[in-house]
Structure 1
Amino acid sequence: MRIFKFLIVALVMHSASSFSQIPSDFLSKEFHKDRRAALREKMPANSVAIIFANSVRNRANDVDYVFHQDPNFYYLTGYREPNAVLVLFSETQIESEETSYDEILYVQKRDVKAEQWNGKRLGVAGAKKTLGFDVALNAEDFVKSDINFKKFDRIFIEKFENDYRNSSKNSAEIYDLVFSFKEKAGYNPKNFLSPIKKQIYELVRATSIENTANVAQIIGRALVYDPSLSGDKDLMQFKEATDAKLKKELQKRIVLKLEAKTNIDIGFLAKNMATLREVKAAEELVLLTKAVRISAIGQIEVMKAMKPHMSETELQGIHEFVYKKYGAEYEGYPSIVGAGNNGCILHYIENNKTNIGNELVLMDLGAEYRGYTADVTRTIPANGTFTDEQKEIYNLVYNAQEAGISLYTVGESMAAPNQAARKIINAGLLTLGIIKSLDEKHPYFPHGTSHHIGLDVHDPGNYGNFEENMVVTMEPGVYIPIGSACDEKWWGIGIRIEDDILVTKKDPVNLSGEAPRTVKAIEEMMAKKSVLDAFILPDLDK
């Protein structure tokens, strides 16, 4: 009997020890509850919001990609598993004297067999205890539920991307949850408009047939931001039509679409979640700052370890090893390590150059820590020393970045840093003879400088003015690919410097400032010894 009791105690202690080794620094359940309350405050009377978990994506055959939760869903719930849905009501729903609620979280059902293969599920009890939901049900209960969505004046959803796979493994996968909602709510994509389509329809209605040439141009520009508009046959015909009679008929059809009635809204959540997420809470800043510092230290270790004989893939591996060493779960986005001309490709992710030689290496990488993603870029010379040409372009980009960072102040327009950086870079390119005039349109600085980071590497935001506790990148760059219309001595130089800047009531704080940025500081760091210098693996080709 004593032996049996000892075994029970040992098993309990082992289980407790194993549980304690699970990361415990995720966002608190109180944070997620507060965020749901903040969203509910923005909802009009008699409305409901439905937010779905991410879909499981297939990699090949019977292998799926590692599941990653939809950021909005995680922000509101803290739930990190698939096949779930959150229903958020603007007012308390009363079913009886004993039963009332203003939110329901539907989650994956506990399943011993499935958990043996794929790990433990939180389940209903876990959703209540760990995530703090008063009402949590199994996902299959959503499919079976009799929620009358049509009684609400407004139903808020995010745009469906139609990438839900029906694996037929169970009847409560995300495919089934979405399908069930569409049936219950009377969802018909023809009966509602995206915000950009609604604006264009209203413009078509308000414009006389004689003045529609400008509308056609606006439609053309809108297609760049929303390619799905190309599927609207009436709108595309209206854009190309020259016959006044045909234009008038198409205008009537478009106005009818504009006036179609539906209580489903796909614009509310996108706008209001952006408003909530663009300003970070104190809890978020702790995790985001850690993700940024991990990424900056990754840059430092690569500076010390880099040698001309290395490959782009090897450098990527060092970065990502540092991330894992600090307990970061993932990379926030596909790592970019581009040597020489590859650095002139903005989103170069092949990273397959086998020998970086003596070229510049552009490294744009970010660790994801507890869901929060950094975005840090450094460009360094593989042999440890910048050439004169490389130094000229590097200092130009550095000065542009410094000018931009100084404008990360409360109340300043978020467009201001980009404008300041572009002014400096254009003047510098002119001085170096790379462009011929300040107003010349050129391809050497083809992107903006600033975007929010957070649960997404390109976190949603409204991009108005800076507010306290926003975290926004500052990333000017100059890219001169081989064959450019300038002196060959500049060819193959691609330089981007990117840092993650916290907006405060005082001066901006460079969260990634640990990673050297100046020419002098980079060269000094690259001259230091690396702990990886002695890490030599067997030659497999011998």
Structure 2
Amino acid sequence: MRAIVPYTAVLFLILFTISSFRLSNDTPQDHLPAAFHQERRNQLRKLLPPNSVAVFFANAVRNRANDVEYIYHQDPDFYYLTGYQEPHAMLMIFSEDQKNAQGEVYKELLYVQPKDALREMWTGKRQGVEGVKQNLGMKQVFNNTDFTDASIDFTKFNKVFFLPFHNDVRDEENIKGDLYDLIAQFKQKVNYPADYNAEAHQLYELIQQSKADKSVNAAQTIRSYQQMNERLKEDKILSDYAQAQDEKTREEIAKQVPQININGYALDGMMNTLREVKTQEELKLLRKAINISAVGQIEVMKAMHPGMSEKEVQGIHEFVFRKYGAEFEGYPSIVGAGNNGCVLHYIENNKTKLENDLVLMDLGAEYHGYTADVTRTIPANGKFTKEQKAIYDLVYKAQEEAFKLCLTDSSVQAPGRVARQIINKGLKELGIIADENERHLYFPHGTSHHLGLDVHDRSNYGALKPGMVITVEPGIYIPDSSKCDKKWWGIAVRIEDDILITEKGYENLSKMAPRKSEEIEALMAKSSVLNKLALPKLD
């Protein structure tokens, strides 16, 4: 006898289908297209050596407290290659076409979480297999529970590439095919050693690839790695090879290197190569994220007053982000007034009154996966003091000179070197340091990192190329009790802009937010609609 579906269940499914259809038409339509992700997979395939496969896993679901999870954020590499933003998924990309038992040819496989009406009622719509095929343009898509029985012979590949595993993946006991299961089954299928160390196996390959007359260089490299990672000294093969005194001994030790086809480090370099140069589709989203962040800086400049708190400043920025549809902050927001600004990654943001301090604001909106990174430093009362202005204008000068080295074929370190020279000279002229070559902590960081899906984005950090986006962020930080005149204490300034490398030079993508001290003071003199917002007082 055919089971009768309860009326309530039918009604729920109808309403769920209708609401899902309605939501699909009310969501942003400017995400990266499926063709972008397909092309990125094609480009990765070109980097893979013959007879190899690259395996990627979605980000883990992470617990916040008890039965509350952190808002889910997809792994940037996984998103870059698929556009899929749900957890418990796995992607395989093959260097050459494969053929299944039915004779069908394929070159990629994607395993995703299945449709589940009851779970979707609690945690939101899932695309499922058919949704992914339709929305993301992938053909070989399966439920994650199907990977258990997948007849993939990983031993036939010369190399099986994957990214290092993390130890924060929980086993969802009541969910089959979750990320925990996918990783465990993958490890079983590839005979993943229990004591696998990606860095050690990288050095094993170095040994195998080094000819006898080059083995002394390989041994020196291993010793260098062992100095940075004590665990590598526990590996007998590496230690014996590193300490061997002649080529013949090293040649004999090389024969002991285990033959293994899995590789947990080389895929990093391939993804660095792919992601460091942005496509036009990516730049469109990056520009949006950066412009949103610049508007946030502008609105705070108009609204700021000495009685405001760091949290309130943070809130205005993040309100602007949400107003424009940014899903996340690209990193924890930094709002540091006075001495708090001297803590480079200060995120407590708990000072209740800004008073007459300088306020360092380092915040970036994340829009459809791409994040800005914009910093401005402004006086809470709208006017720089003499000392504040001196430090601010010095940082501005250093940044202006650093921009000039944001050129094709220049190194990513070049802007920082010139910025440091200018800042050191200026600090000496102000009497804060005694000599330009003096070692100090007033400028303790570099100026530039790549920007994209990550705030510190993937790159091989070679010569700059058109399409790369980097930051330029010189700064001066003078904490209380520094060894200089007390009038400088508690002054912290960082100015950070997002720079696109072009064929003919560079473009400052965040130029909308004022940088000159005079421009900042002029903008802060204007009124803000936010000053009219009056909320009831609470005990």
Q: Structure 2 length as normaliser, TM-score? A: 0.90
Q: Which of 500, 503, 508 is equivalent to 1:502?
A: 500
Q: Which of 90, 95, 100 is equivalent to 1:95?
A: 100
CA distance in structure 2 between the aligned counterparts of 1:158 and 1:441, rounded to whole angstroms: 38
Residue identity matched to 1:345: V
Matches within 5 A, 1:491-530: 491-530=489-528
Relative to structure 1, is the Cα distance of residues 194 and 536 closer, same or farther in structure 2, using a 3 angstrom cutoff? same
Deviations along 1:347-395, one digit per CA (max 9) or x if unpaired, are 0000011111110000000000001000000000000001111111111
Matches within 5 A, 1:164-313: 164-188=169-193, 190-191=195-196, 193-194=198-199, 198=203, 206=215, 219-220=226-227, 223=228, 229-234=229-234, 259-313=257-311
Give the secondary-structure state (helix, strand or coil) at the position aligned to 1:285: helix
CA distance in structure 2 between the aligned counterparts of 1:74 and 1:175, rounded to whole angstroms: 19
Give the secondary-structure state (helix, strand or coil) at the position aligned to 1:194: helix
Relative to structure 1, is the Cα distance of residues 296 and 174 closer, same or farther in structure 2, using a 3 angstrom cutoff? same
Give how far 1:129 is off: 0.5
Q: Which of 74, 80, 89 is equivalent to 1:75?
A: 80
Residue identity matched to 1:337: V
**Percent of aligned positions that are identical:** 53
- Contact 1:234–1:254 (CA<8 Å) still a contact in 2? no
Give how far 1:143 is off: 2.2
Give the secondary-structure state (helix, strand or coil) at the position aligned to 2:531: coil
Give how far 1:472 is off: 0.6
Give the secondary-structure state (helix, strand or coil) at the position aligned to 1:307: coil
Q: Which of 429, 432, 442 is equivalent to 1:431?
A: 429
CA distance in structure 2 between the aligned counterparts of 1:35 and 1:207, rounded to whole angstroms: 39
- Contact 2:215–2:250 (CA<8 Å) still a contact in 1? no
Give how far 1:483 is off: 1.1
Residue identity matched to 1:32: H
CA distance in structure 1 between the aligned counterparts of 2:409 and 2:522, rounded to whole angstroms: 37
Give how far 1:409 is off: 1.3
Give how far 1:216 is off: 6.2
Relative to structure 1, is the Cα distance of residues 481 and 255 closer, same or farther in structure 2, using a 3 angstrom cutoff? farther
Q: Which of 123, 129, 137 is equivalent to 1:132?
A: 137
Give how far 1:194 is off: 2.0
Deviations along 1:31-66, one digit per CA (max 9) or x if unpaired, are 000000000011111101100000001001111100
- Contact 2:237–2:257 (CA<8 Å) still a contact in 1? no
Give how far 1:497 is off: 0.3
Deviations along 1:146-203, one digit per CA (max 9) or x if unpaired, are 2111111000000111211112121211011000000000112645542896299869
Give how far 1:339 is off: 0.4
1:371 aligns with 369
- Contact 1:201–1:255 (CA<8 Å) still a contact in 2? no
Q: Larger deviation: 369-378 or 482-491?
A: 482-491
CA distance in structure 2 between the aligned counterparts of 1:96 and 1:144, rounded to whole angstroms: 13
Give how far 1:98 is off: 4.3
Q: Larger deviation: 159-168 or 375-384?
A: 159-168
Q: Which of 126, 148, 163 is equivalent to 1:121?
A: 126
Q: Which of 513, 516, 540 is equivalent to 2:538?
A: 540
Residue identity matched to 1:490: W
Give the secondary-structure state (helix, strand or coil) at the position aligned to 1:489: helix
- Contact 2:354–2:380 (CA<8 Å) still a contact in 1? yes
- Contact 1:452–1:471 (CA<8 Å) still a contact in 2? yes
Residue identity matched to 1:364: D
Matches within 5 A, 1:397-412: 397-412=395-410
1:4 aligns with none
2:441 aligns with 443
Relative to structure 1, is the Cα distance of residues 268 and 500 closer, same or farther in structure 2, using a 3 angstrom cutoff? same
Give how far 1:68 is off: 0.3
Matches within 5 A, 1:409-420: 409-420=407-418
Q: Larger deviation: 409-418 or 304-313?
A: 409-418
1:481 aligns with 479
CA distance in structure 2 between the aligned counterparts of 1:429 and 1:36, rounded to whole angstroms: 49
Give how far 1:12 is off: 9.2
- Contact 2:129–2:141 (CA<8 Å) still a contact in 1? yes
Relative to structure 1, is the Cα distance of residues 177 and 425 closer, same or farther in structure 2, using a 3 angstrom cutoff? same
Q: Which runs of 5+ in 2 are unaligned?
A: 1-13
Give how far 1:232 is off: 3.5
CA distance in structure 1 between the aligned counterparts of 2:154 and 2:483, rounded to whole angstroms: 60
CA distance in structure 1 between the aligned counterparts of 2:125 and 2:531, rounded to whole angstroms: 41
- Contact 1:165–1:175 (CA<8 Å) still a contact in 2? yes
Deviations along 1:90-111, one digit per CA (max 9) or x if unpaired, are 1111125641100011000001
Q: Which of 372, 392, 395 is equivalent to 2:393?
A: 395
Relative to structure 1, is the Cα distance of residues 215 and 283 closer, same or farther in structure 2, using a 3 angstrom cutoff? closer
Matches within 5 A, 1:456-471: 456-471=454-469
CA distance in structure 1 between the aligned counterparts of 2:458 and 2:200, rounded to whole angstroms: 16
CA distance in structure 2 between the aligned counterparts of 1:201 and 1:17, rounded to whole angstroms: 56
Give how far 1:292 is off: 0.2
Deviations along 1:301-350, one digit per CA (max 9) or x if unpaired, are 00000110111001000000000000100101000000000000000000
Give how far 1:273 is off: 0.6
Q: Larger deviation: 184-193 or 49-58?
A: 184-193
Deviations along 1:187-225, one digit per CA (max 9) or x if unpaired, are 12645542896299869x9559xx98x9867744xx3xx
2:9 aligns with none
Q: How many residues align?
A: 519
Give how far 1:439 is off: 1.6
CA distance in structure 2 between the aligned counterparts of 1:55 and 1:498, rounded to whole angstroms: 32
1:226 aligns with none
Q: Structure 1 length as normaliser, TM-score? A: 0.90
